[in-house]
Amino acid sequence: MNNTSVYQKSREDILEIGEKYGLSLNKLENLLEPDRIVEITIPIQIGSETITFKGYRSQHSNLLGPYKGGLRFHPSVTKDEVKALSLWMTLKAAIIGVPLGGGKGGVAVDPKVLTEAQIEEISREYVRKVYDVIGHDKDIPAPDVNTNSKIMDWMTDEYIKIAEKKNPETANHKHFATFTGKGKKGLAGRIEATGFGGVSILKELSKKLKLKPSETTIAVMGFGNVGFYFAKLAEELGFQVVAVSDSKGGIVKKTADGKFLPLDIDLVYECKQEKGSLNGCYCSGGVCDTRGGQLITNEELLSLPVDILVPSALEDVINDNNMQNVKSGVIIEMANGPVSPKAHHFLTSKKTIIVPDILANSGGIAGSYLEWMQNLENKVYEKDVVLKKIDEMMIKAFDAVWNESEKAKTNLREASYLVALKKLLI
């Protein structure tokens, strides 16, 4: 992520939309500034020396409920980055209609060069340092880049140890609601929640545009958790997922005369698990081999003449250098900010329909909300109940944004901001 100005870009973007639609700029200015940014240091013994890592927690807004947002471990984590991401979380929570605010955190560290014991110590020390500002009714972290359910379990365990010393009378089950994305007392269906939510949007958009799944081709850039579940669930609904990629490149399947053929998503995933990347994974019938497929670069995937393009990996992958190559009539943003502002303006002027990230990938916060609720209620929600509730929330959010876009005669991105801001500028 371009950390030097990502928050400033987001801020200017929202102020521009606010001015265009006559929203109170004073209220907007107040809303855009985070309530609090906590900066911490985490000293860890590595070999014979002590290395100190910087950590952050940005609590953007709790107007609608406790702060909520992911916690990432990555060398590029900065104060500016978490500030921007916490703002986006505030908007996502407002759009999806859950009683939560926006937060985001991170530690500037590369976990890939650390031992598991060192990662656990960083995780626990982070909790010790931010303990006073998190809690089930204050701020609820979740997994993000390079963090997972195991890390959330360590953090929850550390939080409970401190909480039980300080407040032994507090009900234990509520402590578990301080983190989501956990293994212990986690949510059934949470792993696929973001991709599932994106496919809920795909279904509703297809109805509006009168697209038939069997005649609709999709290319998915990014075959991690979100991209895989989006592709798999779209395939199950009959959509033609004809290309997927990861950081090393991707695959597309065509006939000799250039007609797209659907991939077998489970087979592609198995091959990626075996080889470590999609590089060299071609699928024909029941076997992944070198027949019937074609290796492509990520840039080539973005320029395929498919009906729907789904960027699910990095920010700014569609930008002023390649925006003229995009041929898809629909883009569903499953990554954070995959279409740059300039590219968005260019593509929407060509009537490309772009479903923005703050709507399309908000299935994650819907899932986090349900995990938080089940922990507060000391219950266990069944997976089918979870997915049904996420689907209902996504459909309601999509309808609100679609209706706002028609009412304001604008694109879905501006409509998404308007839906969120009207809830927040009270």
Q: Which residues are marked as active site? A: 104
C-alpha span between 71 and 102 (Å, rounded):
12
Neighbours of 327 (CB within 10 A): 13
Q: What angle do CA 366, 158, 64 make, to 5 degrees?
A: 30
- At 20, the amino acid letter reads K
Of 113, 177, 169, 167, the C-alpha closest to 140 is 177
The letter for the amino acid at 353 is I
Name residue 304's amino acid: L
E strand or H helix at 54, and its extent? strand 49-61
- Whole-number Cα distances in Å, 25 to 64, 181, 226: 20, 36, 35
List Cα–Cα distances, 343 to 316, 350, 388, in angstroms. Answer: 9, 11, 34
Q: What is the CB neighbour count within 10 angstroms for residue 83?
A: 23
Strand partners, 139: 67, 135
The structure tokens 């490149």 sit at: 249
Q: Are 211 and 188 in contact (CB under 8 A)?
A: no
Residue carrying structure tokens 């407040």: 167
